[in-house]
Amino acid sequence: MSMIEFHDVQKYYGKFHALKDINLTIDKGETVVLIGPSGSGKSTLARTVNGLEDIQDGKLIVNGRDLSNPKTNINLLRKDVGMVFQHFNLYQNKNVLENVMLAPRIVLKLSEEENKQRAIEMLKMVGLEDKAENMPSQISGGQAQRVAIARSLAMKPKCMLFDEPTSALDPEMIDDVLQVIKEVASRGDMTSLIVTHEMGFAKEVADRVIFMDDGQILEDSDTKSFFANPQNERAKKFLSKIISH
């Protein structure tokens, strides 16, 4: 069973062709890592999956809902598809606990009691239950990102999108966040699409690696063979540059 299906998807920003002929199927429970140079369209691709970016042509089906159809209720789709952003995007006017509790209260209409219990459970999972009363401005970037992950998980999504979750973090914060993502992605029923520059992490967590450049998918292989023996020339070059660092 597939969770995400792209069929000949095209995305334009005005005249700029940001996603070209994207064909991609991600199965339920799979963990797919998306890599490629900056500006290659990997974030754009991830953002089309929950409709933060619209597409101009082709068919995109996520969790059985057709995003290419403008009548599709995008909010219902987003209930099941969580997203973690490069810059965390925690609500600056709410404390950590409220950040986690808001969407389950409004969208899922959970009772306060159940919601709070669930929120604390999520914060425990990311190791931050003692920060529940703090404001986002009072915690570190790494902590904020873990709260953002807890916020997404509180919706009990079937699929998680991670859009460069560690790119804005200090190096010593990265490991804690990757650890949490790994835990989430390894759940059997969780589908994860992860955009990242962390190659070691990709190797460890991914079932499949997709390499993008210039708005196109240039390689789509299982993790082992991608890192051992990439087929595409651009991918080879990219890997040799990144790994030599």
Partner 1 sequence: MINIISNHWEELLNGLGWTLLSSILALFFSLIIGSFFAIMEVLPSKTARVIGQIYVEIFRNIPLLVITMFFYLVIPMYVVKINGFTAGTIGLTIYTSAFIAETVRSGIQSIDIGQMEGARSTGMTYWQSMRYIILPQAFKIVIPPLGNQFVNLVKNSSVLAFVAGFDLMYQGNMLASTTFDTINSYLIVGLLYLVITLPMSYYMQHLEKKMA
Site residues, partner 1 (CB under 8 A): 50, 52, 75-76, 78-79, 81-83, 85, 87-94, 102-103, 106-107, 148, 151-152, 155
Return d(Cα 29, Cα 207) in angstroms, integer. Answer: 10
Return d(Cα 181, Cα 59) in angstroms, integer. Answer: 29
Name the residue type at position 149: I
Q: Give least dist CB 213 to partner 1, A.
A: 25
Question: What are the distances in angstroms from CA 236 to CA 190, 198, 204, 231?
Answer: 30, 16, 19, 7
Nearer to partner 1, 102 or 199 (CB): 102
Q: Give least dist CB 189 to partner 1, A.
A: 19
Name, in order, each residue with C-beta under 8 angstroms of 193's C-beta and a sequence gap of 6 or more: 4, 26, 32, 34, 46, 49, 159, 160, 161, 162
Nearer to partner 1, 83 or 209 (CB): 83
Q: Give least dist CB 202 to partner 1, A.
A: 23
Question: What are the distances in angstroms from CA 30 to CA 7, 126, 139, 188?
Answer: 18, 22, 32, 8
Q: Give least dist CB 43 to partner 1, A.
A: 12
Nearer to partner 1, 46 or 239 (CB): 46
Under 8 Å between Cβ of 152 and 84 = yes
Name, in order, each residue with C-beta under 8 angstroms of 230's C-beta and a sequence gap of 6 or more: 211, 219, 221, 236, 239
| Cα-based torsion angle of the residue sequence 81, 217, 194, 190 in order, rounded to the nearest 10 degrees | 50
Nearer to partner 1, 149 or 239 (CB): 149
Nearer to partner 1, 17 or 79 (CB): 79
Q: Give least dist CB 78 to partner 1, A.
A: 4
Q: Give least dist CB 240 to partner 1, A.
A: 34
